[in-house]
Every structure is written in C-alpha cells, then in structure tokens.
Amino acid sequence: MASLLFVFLVLPLLGCVFVLFSEKDGYNAFNVTFFTLCTCILAILKLFSESQIVGTDFVYSYQWLQHPNVVFTFGVDSLSLLLLLGVYMSAIIGLVGLSAPQRKSKSLLLLVLYFIWNMSGLLVVRDIISFYLFFAGMQLPLFMLIGSYTNIKKSSTLSLFFLFNFVGSLLLLVSILVVYRYNHGSVLLSQIGILDIPAVPQFIVLAGVCAAFVLRIPIWPLHNWISFISSGIKNPLIYILTNMLPLSGLYGFIRFGQVIVPTEINAFVPIIEVFGVLTMMFIALIGLSHKNFLQKLFSFSTISYLLFLLSKLLLDDKYQMNMAYSLFIFLIVNASLTVLDLFAENAREEAGCDYRGVLVYMPRLSKFFAFFVLMAAGLPMSSMFWNNFTLISALFRESFVTGLWVMASISLVGLALIYELYIMRDLQNKPLQEYAVTDISDRKLVFFGCITLVLFLSFFNPLWFVF
C-alpha cells in the first residue's frame, strides 16, 4: 500500500525529468506526460481494489528531519482517492484537447506535470509542513503557464493572481511557525485545533489557516481577478488546471474541518456563508449575461465549489462522501466541456462560420457537448445529480433561506448553460453545406465515448469501477 502511495509523490516528478530531457519539437514529451497520468490512474484503481470499504483511511509516517523534528505523514481514504482520480482524468482530458503544436511544447508539459505533482501531493500528505510545501508549490507553475501560454494582456490581472495566492501561502506559513514555536515539530493537519497552545496563538493559527484556504476559493470580493484570468485562457489544459486551484482550498477545509474548532472561529462561519451565497447569486447572473460559453462554464465551476464549501461548513461529516462523489464527476464534466467548447471555437474560426448553430456542423461533437451540458445543468445523468440533490436538501434543512439562494443560483447557471447550448445548435435556416467545419476525429469520438460511459455508469453506482 505504501509503495502505491509513493507513486503519486514520485512518478509525476520523474515524468518531469524525462520531459526535460526529451527531444525538442517531437511528441516524446506528450507521450511521457500521457503515460505518467495513465499509470497514476492505474495505481488509484489498484488502491481502490485493496481498500474495498468506502471510508477506510490508510496513513503512514516517516521521519523526515531530526532537527527540526519533521515527520512526513501521508495517506489516502476514499475521498482523497476520488479527488485524485478526478484530477488525473481531467488532466488527461486536457491533454487530448491540445493541438499538435501545443503537444510539442516541452516547457508546457513540464509545468503541467509539476503542477499535477503538487496537486497530487497535496491530496496525499497529512502533516501541516508537507501540506504547506505542496500548497505553496502549485502557485509557481500555474503562474508561469498563465503568463506564458495565454492571451491575458493586463499585467495587473496576473499581479492580483500572484498576490492573492502568495498572501494565502504566507498566512499558512505563519500558522506553521506558530505551531512549531509551541510544539517544536510538525503535526497532523487534523490536530491543529486540539494542540496545547494558548488561546491567542491558537486563534492566530486557525484564522491564518482558514484565510489561506478562503483566498484559494473564488468568493466575493476576491473573484473578479479569477474571472479575468479564466476569460483569457484558450489553452484547454491550462484552463482546466486553473479551475483546479480552488480545489486546494476546498480540500484544506475538508481536512481542517475534522478538528475541534474553537467557538471564536465558528463565529466566522456565518460571514463566509453570507458572502458565499451572495457570490453564488452574483456569479449566476453574470453567467446569464455573458455570451462566451467559457464564462458560463466559469460560473458553473465557481457555484459548484461554493456549494461544496457551504456543505462542508454547515453540514455534518456524514455528507463528506457525497461531496467527494460530486467533486469527482464535476472535475470530469468541467474538463470535458472546456475541451469540446474550445475545439468547436477553433473549428468555427478556421471555417469562418457563425457562432450560432456551430454545433449543427459537428454532429459528433454536438452529441457529447449536449450530454455534458445537460449533466452540468443538473439533469439526472450521473451520480453528481443524486449527491448534489442530497447536499442541497441538507442545506434546506439547515437553513431554508440559504438553501433557497443556493438552489436559485444553481438553477440560473443551469439555465444559462442550456440556453447557450440552444444558441450553438440553432442554425436559423442556414444550409448545412455552407461551411466546411471539421468534426472531432475517430480517436476523440472513442475517447469521449468512454468518458460518457464512465459518467453514465456512475448514475447507478458512484464506485462501480472498484473491482
């Protein structure tokens, strides 16, 4: 079991080395990246087959340093395995969506693998020092990817992106230093709230940790720069990775939420609840007003993350696996829609046809695109429907007003996605032969057919792939 866990900590980093020394202007770097991600998925499925029982937690500890006393602790349970599987499958979907010139870019694939290594390490480690290293480590490769391979022109937008993430990492570092000051070593993230620390320093630690995680999640008034970032990304893989960043903050709340939190910190939960609900409604209205599908997809992504955040803060831990199932499907749906939309957009520009009715010229892509849009809109096509329904029902029981606003926001963003699907399929009496638009290839047809089958089977059993 421990050797399989090390796959997520070693293999992506080893893949970076092979990519670095691969030949230039060839596909070796792409092949290495694809093989690395597929191998990690096989390791996840193997771990699922060995655990057998949902909720089982495997934790291992190794002495990292003697002075200072740092114990490296890592482990997985069904929640972290589902998130790992969602992350790696989303990355593979993003790889499939790359164009031929993008697949030859060594630096792009190197930074992608390095980001995935940090993300997977974050989902595996359990001690606060290792958690911080991976939490802060994913900022640099993503910043370089956005700055080098996107069409973002405003330097102020990139500066805000770097600043917010840097401040979050700095707050988490301060919390770690305070913990070390009183405990002389690293501790488990789940033990922060029960450490023998005076009241004021403990409040500083817990507030710093919470603030670091909140800064990773697109919540008002911190969401504007994230919207600007997402709208300027035309590389599907970078867009997918950028929209994975809030997962690090949400996952921090999930692991941190297992501790006994003092009443002083609990007093801030209603504030986060109010700002979260307001952000959901505001983002939903923005999604309705925008004509760009990626902006609507950003609204869907933001509202989904905030739904999971509110569920974690307001509901019992018994709903944690419902969040995991929904997050797993959400990551795949978001990645698939990103790739399909950008493929349609590029094909439209090459053929010179109108945006309205573009999907009519691509019947293959249109079927998959409609399936994923309807799934994101909330129709019962995957386990995400059942588990989101469970979470929203629980929020209604906890607070009727909060549940009502959450339901309204989700309904609005679903309506925005469905309306955009209607626009992209409405030909307005134009002949089909007017434009020569390239549809998806046979390989992509088979690939997205497999993804669709995976999501459809999850409707009957979220863990059907556990053998």
Q: What total of structural domains would you count in the chain? A: 1
Q: How far apart are CA 309 and CA 287, in angstroms?
A: 20
Examine residue 136 and state whether it is found in any structural domain, yes or no: no
Q: How big is the chain, counted in residues? A: 467
Which tokens sit at 437? 């638009």
pLDDT at 36: 94
Examine residue 398 and state whether it is found in any structural domain, yes or no: yes
Beta strands in 265-320 (DSSP E): none
Q: Is the dihedral of CA 121, 122, 127, 130 positive or negative?
A: positive
Examine residue 213 and state whether it is found in any structural domain, yes or no: no
Nearest to 220 by CA among 314, 288, 306: 306
Examine residue 395 and state whether it is found in any structural domain, yes or no: yes
Which tokens sit at 131? 């958690």
pLDDT digit string, tens, across residues 271-282: 777 878 888 888
pLDDT in tens, the chain (467 residues): 667 777 788 899 999 999 988 887 788 999 999 999 999 999 888 888 775 545 556 677 666 666 666 777 888 888 889 999 999 999 999 999 998 888 888 999 999 999 999 999 999 888 888 888 999 998 889 888 888 887 765 566 677 778 878 888 898 888 888 887 777 767 777 777 667 777 777 778 878 888 888 888 877 666 555 666 666 678 899 999 988 988 998 998 888 765 545 555 566 677 777 878 888 888 888 878 877 888 888 889 989 999 998 888 888 888 888 999 999 999 999 999 999 999 988 888 887 777 778 888 888 999 999 999 999 998 888 888 889 999 999 999 988 888 899 999 999 999 999 998 888 887 765 666 666 788 888 999 999 999 999 898 888 887 776 65
pLDDT at 156: 67
Examine residue 385 and state whether it is found in any structural domain, yes or no: yes
pLDDT at 53: 47
Examine residue 84 and state whether it is found in any structural domain, yes or no: no
Nearest to 279 by CA among 462, 437, 416, 402: 402
pLDDT at 356: 79
What letter represents residue 444's amino acid? K
Q: How far apart are CA 391 and CA 96, in angstroms?
A: 32
pLDDT at 153: 59
Burial class (CB in 10 A: 0-12, 13-18, 19+), 140: middle
Examine residue 163 and state whether it is found in any structural domain, yes or no: no
Which tokens sit at 144? 């370089």
Q: How far apart are CA 150 and CA 238, in angstroms?
A: 8
Assign 3-class secondary structure to 389-419: HHHHHHHHHHCHHHHHHHHHHHHHHHHHHHH
Q: Domain span at residue 402?
A: 290-467
Examine residue 459 and state whether it is found in any structural domain, yes or no: yes
Nearest to 215 by CA among 170, 159, 274, 273: 170
H helices of 352-399, in order, are 363-376, 383-398
Look-up: residue for tokens 């087959």?
49
